[in-house]
Amino acid sequence: MHMPENLQHFAPILTHGLLAFFGALVHASKAYRAGKTKGTLDYLALVLMSSFSGVMFYLLTMYLFGEPSYLTMAMAGTGGFLGVEGMTLIISRLQSIISSK
């Protein structure tokens, strides 16, 4: 199937964004079932923050490895699933590397 030229550049961004969103939905649903969210607004806020984390994981992987690939897609979904905890893990790891030098 041939995709229009203007959508060819948008498709990888949309794909990675959707993967980050689905990872975030899984994360928020897991937190909801565990009773960690108080209501719908908490649930939606958690989905939004976790989606942002998924996009950050995607951008970090893009920076390190280059072109969009299965690895960047996997990291977008993983980042969405890990959410804020994943970003905290990366930040603490980077701080330990920087402070040890």
Q: Which domain holds residue 85?
A: 14-99
Dihedral in degrees, nearest 10, Cα atoms 46, 21, 80, 5:
-150
Query: For residue 47, is it within any domain?
Result: yes
Query: For residue 2, is it within any domain?
Result: no
More confident residue, 78 or 68: 78
Query: For residue 24, is it within any domain?
Result: yes
What residues have CB less than 8 Å from 12, skipping those under 6 apart? 68
Query: For residue 67, is it within any domain?
Result: yes
Query: Is the pLDDT score of 95 beyond 80?
Result: yes
Q: What is the mean pLDDT of residues 42-66?
A: 89
Domain count of the chain? Answer: 1
For residue 1, name the pLDDT band (cuts at 50, 70, 90): low
Query: For residue 65, is it within any domain?
Result: yes
Query: For residue 86, is it within any domain?
Result: yes
Query: For residue 6, is it within any domain?
Result: no
Query: For residue 75, is it within any domain?
Result: yes
Angle of CA points 23, 28, 32, to nearest 5°: 150
